[in-house]
A and B are shown apart, each in its own frame.
Chain A
Amino acid sequence: MTDFRIPKPKFFTTTKKGHLTLLASLQSISTRENYELKSDLNSEYRDRRKDAIKKVIANMTVGKDVSGLFPDVLKNMQTEDLEQKKLVYLYLMNYAKTQPELVILAVNTFVKDTDDGNPLIRALAIRTMGCIRVEKIIDYLCEPLRKCLKDENPYVRKTAAICVAKLYDLNPALATDNGFVATLQDMVSDSNPMVVANAITALAEINEASETKDIFVINITTLNKLLVALNECTEWGRIAILTALAEYRPVDEKEAEHIIERVVPQFQHVNGSVVLAGIKVVILYMRVIKTEELIRQLVKKMAPPLVTLLSSVPEVQYVALRNINLILQKRPDILQHEIRVFFCKYNDPLYVKLEKLEIMIKLANDKNVDQLLSELKEYASEVDVDFVRKSVRAIGQCAIKIEESSERCINVLLDLINSSNTMSDMANSKVNYVVQEAIVVIKDIFRKYPRKYEGIIPTLCKNLDALDEPEAKASLIWIIGEYAEKIDNANELLESFLETFREENVQVQLQLITATVKVFLKKPQKSRDIVQQVLQIATTDCDNPDIRDRAYVYWRLLSTDPQAAKAVVLSEKPAISVENQSISGPLLDELINHISTLASVYHKPPESFLGRGTFGADAVQRRAIEEQEEESRESPIQEQVKNENLLDLDFSDTSATPTSANPPSAVSPFSESTSTNIDDLLGLFGNDTKFGTTANSSTTPAGSSATTQSNALNDLVSLI
């Protein structure tokens, strides 16, 4: 093999430390340098010209503006030297947008190159022309493209096929009127597999961009072509074909079976993306299949390749885990014996660990729960706060999901609280979050199994002072209110909060009001004072309308009819449960359609995260010019920041819409998706329903909806 590390002339200037001065993006090259380059580009010596071009490209690479040399670089386009030609082409692609008038000068060479004897040059020319997104050049693109689509060399044809998609992106009418799209449709029958694959890729893209969505329709003949090409093309081509097959709806069960038979061998491909694309086809086609036995077999066949994906590079593991999460919601039986493969390894990246945790909960059952609990306990003693919290939370979810295990779960949680307490005594407050998380989780267990584990309440109350997170505080206060009759000093415990009532988080304040009212209804003598005090503060001193309103509602209720108040406030709460299906049915079906794509990773429908509208050629060009102008003058930072925030808010608004379309009650309190950074940005509602539901059942209906709203409001406010 060639050793590419032979010493070469340096094209980059480096600073003393050897680092590139990359801040150069704001600068343009010095006048002297500019002059030298200009004269070198026009030199009579070939080598000097080529070196100058390399220097220009080097400058371009570090972000310096060399667009001023456009005419001089252009002169060097016509050359026998392939490397030089490629560099000039590269330069053209980068700066054509800023010099649309001058690009016309390049057209001649381009057209000539598409007639070159060397297929490499023909392909290069057509590929580059398609990348120059300037309206003026498009008109000149059609003739060469027509030729290249019929080229005898498959390398040129496969490049031309993609070029049709490029043209369609710039000017759909032109691509259709010239018959290029029709040619693409014919190219699906090309003898060369790579051409077929690229034709399919281009057609799929055009189809998606088209208004009619009827550009790429698979019929019996194309179907067979696809199935034949599937076994012959490169890994990337296979993905394109499988993705196209996933769009196809088989006419009957028999056809579905036939296609599946051809797709299943792809599970053995080394490329994980081919595997996932194959799995997608099979899962989608299974909708058509009625035979139980066949479905069972297919599900069985899908499990091993899914497990193997967990041995790939961590980034792919992550995507696979997010997809497995979806697939499990659709087919809960698929990996039922495989929980062990999801156990976390010490060296897994955090994002993989968190996803594995989610899946372990989904796979938990009465047979494996013991093993799972000992794992979760292990994780709870790790260093990473986020992972520890999620592990503690997972223990609670086990308890709620599997009734037989609830006692063991409670014991594990108590163990964690106790051992963290001894540790935090030793001047180590870091572990305090374990306690806080455990209390939040225990509150949920109490809701699922009322009056079953009252014995541990004293242990929990001992931790009251240590709590500083609103959610943990609110949870414990809820427990105190709910079990006031069992806690002798319930009123004293609540009283201790009164002094700081005004400083508390809204969540805590709301719970305090409710809990005090509950205590009052249960032990009227002891707590007459505090209920008065709380309602007084809440109605007179609080600015938050939700808190005020809730206090008023209670007040009115208590003063008019205490019996009715009892019936409302102390009523039985509906039990909570962990749903394996944390995504609503229709959304889940949509996401299954998007397996392996970003939507399946985010667990959000595409329209929620995609920018609106497309940038046309004009817009991009305008943008490029604007960008450069912007770069050259220093923009006031203040304004920029403001601008960003506006965008931020606007963005999360749109993303929240589809989520809020589902009634919040459909989302179980445990369904919150992992709080990756994205999710937190998007999942405005995912987060607050969690506590919202708690409040829901412990207060009057009027109060509850207010809570949810206020939380949402709160989140929106915190965004700004």
Chain B
Amino acid sequence: MASAVFVLDLKGKVLISRNYRGDIPMSAVEKFMPLVLEAEEEQQAPTPCFTHEGINYLYIRHNNLYCILFKKEDIHRSLRYFASSTINLLHLLKTVLALTKKNSNATTILLFLHKLTEVFTEYFKELEEESIRDNFVIIYELLDEMMDFGYPQTTETKILQEYITQESHKLEIQVRPPMAVTNAVSWRSENIKYRKNEVFLDVIESVNLLVNANGNVLRSEILGVIKMKCYLTGMPELRLGLNDKVMFESTGRSPTRGKAIEMEDVKFHQCVRLSRFENDRTISFIPPDGGFELMSYRLNTQVKPLIWVEAQVENYTGSRIEYTIKAKAQFKRRSTANNVEIYVPVPDDADTPKFGNSIGSVHYAPEKSAIVWKIKQFQGGKDFTMRAHFGLPSHCLLISRLHAYICPKIVEDPEKKPPIGVKFEIPYFTTSGIQVRYLKIVEKSGYQALPWVRYITQNGDYQLRMPESIKNNKMSFI
């Protein structure tokens, strides 16, 4: 359990805090930033939990800047992307910190802190110094309601919003704790009404890929999520049928059409009855109102990388560098990938870019030290080539040429070698072949509700490591 929770600003100063157990001196927080910086100076990665003088510090970093720029599920990814360039970025991040004196459950506390930022973000759209200051009254109320004596309590935004708002106080009616707070169904309120009952299902598969510099696939993994938007009256019982191989096997039936898929690991929203799933693989639940993530799954199947990128780099000693990038869409012809963006890293000091491309648009993004090749529509089976040419000013110095002349193995800083990244979206298509077979909706009032299903495949963590550049030692005298 947590003794106290703090939200800190970029410099480590306390924006707001709550002392839950009164068993530690609140001044312990002042040691936090110095300790983290000290660890960084000593070339050690500051870990998310550490202990100092009998007090344990557990913290997460939340970046308000990137909340606005990225979709929610992208936040962490983008955070991680930049995390390796440590110190500078650290100061863009806001820290949410918990202190504890006991041997507490670290996973619980860290997840609670994430939940806390999630709730704040859903309440205030963004978590910034400004929004914290403007809403300190609500934040105190939320901190009081979400954790008691250091133990997490109600953390569902939708339910909290029913009794912690500023609006309701303006009315003279006093709010009461919604039934849902303590119910077995703690995520849905009663008395929800819709004129038109509808359910939208989005099956989104993100492909994680890691390819080494020789073009061998090291890892490929599909992370799927099924997102739902429920606009349903009352307390509906839902049952979702997928072409799940294990279920077909256990019931002894075979899928009527298409193949069945084998999911490696499945995770469900807390509304799903886990024991039922364990028994007969039925996914049955009473959904929360509105949008939520029903389930996620993971498949470790080796699939052909959907978008394959090959890079050839030629480095003309100290003067210029040339890239030849080949991209290939390795999926069925009738599918099309939309908004494809290929990021090719180039040296930080590259300048005077020249591009030659048969399709799409190319531009140089110096702030990312990368070429961005955008292709609006990329049909399956096609391949395209792009060439880029950069000057390298800092290597133009005669000295470095001389060096290069003497020592044929080229000057190359062991700079960070970021991989090629690819973004894409392929609609109406899932890599795994997962299908929603049915969604049954039963409510005691007996209404009919329409389910809408949409499939999409997109990039996840999609990285292809850059090959070594071909060293070209021809001296090109100016």
Contact = CB atoms under 8 A, between A and B. Distances in A.
B124 A5 contact: yes
Contact of A234 (B44, B186, B213): B186
A314 B138 CA distance: 28
Contacts of A720: none
A601 B409 CA distance: 44
B47 A609 contact: no
Contact of B218 (A155, A267, A375): A375
A57 B135 CA distance: 12
Interface string B16-49: 1001111111110000000100110011111111
A601 B218 contact: no
B445 interface: no
Interface stretch (B145-153, B347-355, B431-439): B145-153
Given A235-B270, A384-B84, A118 B176 contact: yes
A153 interface: yes
A194 B105 contact: no
Interface stretch (A27-35, A250-258, A339-347): A339-347
A601 B166 contact: no
Contacts of B153: 158, 236
A276 B25 CA distance: 31
B191 interface: no
B47 A318 contact: yes
Interface in A250-276: 262, 264-273, 276
Interface in A299-321: 304-305, 307-308, 311, 313-316, 318-320
B463 A271 contact: no
Contact of B270 (A119, A262, A270, A353): A270
Interface string A612-656: 101101001001000100000000000000000001100100000
Interface centre among B14, B42, B186, B267 (most CB of A within 10 A): B267
Contact of A8 (B77, B134, B175, B270): B134
B110 interface: yes
A677 interface: yes
Given A313-B114, A319-B107, A127 B148 contact: yes
Interface size class of B (residues with CB under 8 A): 35 or more
B187 to A, nearest CB: 9
A11 B136 CA distance: 9
Contacts of A345: 80, 210, 461, 463
Contacts of B169: 81-83
Contacts of B102: 606, 610
Contact of A347 (B46, B80, B212, B295): B80
B447 interface: no
Interface string A9-44: 001100000001010000000000000000000000
A351 interface: yes
B105 A239 contact: yes
Nearest to A123: B177
B86 interface: yes
A11 B25 CA distance: 27
Contacts of A617: 22
A675 B44 CA distance: 7
A269 to B, nearest CB: 7
Interface stretch (B246-254, B322-330, B369-377, B411-419): B411-419
B140 A614 contact: no
A28 B1 CA distance: 32
B51 A118 contact: no
A234 B108 CA distance: 13
A407 to B, nearest CB: 21
B60 interface: yes
Interface stretch (A180-188, A458-466, A501-509, A592-600): A592-600
A348 B175 CA distance: 45
A155 B107 contact: no
Interface stretch (A69-77, A422-430, A438-446, A526-534): A422-430
B219 A340 contact: yes
A414 interface: no
A265 B174 contact: no
A577 interface: no
A597 B415 contact: no
A225 interface: no
Main secondary structure of the interface of A (DSSP, over half): helix
Contact of B123 (A4, A239, A680): A4
Interface in A636-694: 647-648, 651, 675-678, 680-681
A311 B136 CA distance: 33
Contacts of A396: none
A413 interface: no
A272 B47 CA distance: 18
A54 interface: yes
Interface in B444-473: 461, 463, 465
A383 interface: yes
Nearest to B36: A677
Interface string A130-172: 1101000000000000000000011100110010011001000
Nearest to B44: A677
Given A266-B274, A598-B51, A61 B265 contact: no
Interface string A409-450: 000000000010011011010110000000000000000000
Contact of B101 (A277, A594, A611): A611
Contact of B107 (A86, A165, A273, A385): A273
A50 B152 CA distance: 29
A264 B278 CA distance: 8
Interface string B163-180: 101110100001111000
Given A127-B144, A318-B47, 19 more contacts: A22-B13, A57-B137, A86-B141, A86-B144, A169-B21, A193-B182, A193-B184, A233-B184, A234-B270, A266-B274, A270-B269, A340-B218, A346-B417, A349-B80, A349-B84, A351-B46, A430-B413, A431-B414, A597-B103
Interface of A: 1-2, 4-5, 8, 11-12, 20, 22, 54, 57-58, 61, 63, 80-83, 86-87, 90, 93-94, 97, 118-120, 123, 127, 130-131, 133, 153-155, 158-159, 162, 165-166, 169, 192-195, 198, 201, 205, 231-236, 239-240, 243, 262, 264-273, 276-277, 304-305, 307-308, 311, 313-316, 318-320, 340-341, 343, 345-351, 353-354, 371, 374-375, 378, 381-386, 419, 422-423, 425-426, 428, 430-431, 594, 596-602, 606, 609-612, 614-615, 617, 620, 623, 627, 647-648, 651, 675-678, 680-681
14 contacts: A2-B167, A20-B133, A81-B169, A83-B169, A120-B163, A155-B182, A169-B23, A239-B105, A271-B111, A318-B48, A346-B417, A596-B105, A627-B25, A677-B46
Q: 4 closest pairs, A vs B, by CB?
A: A611-B54, A350-B45, A304-B265, A677-B39
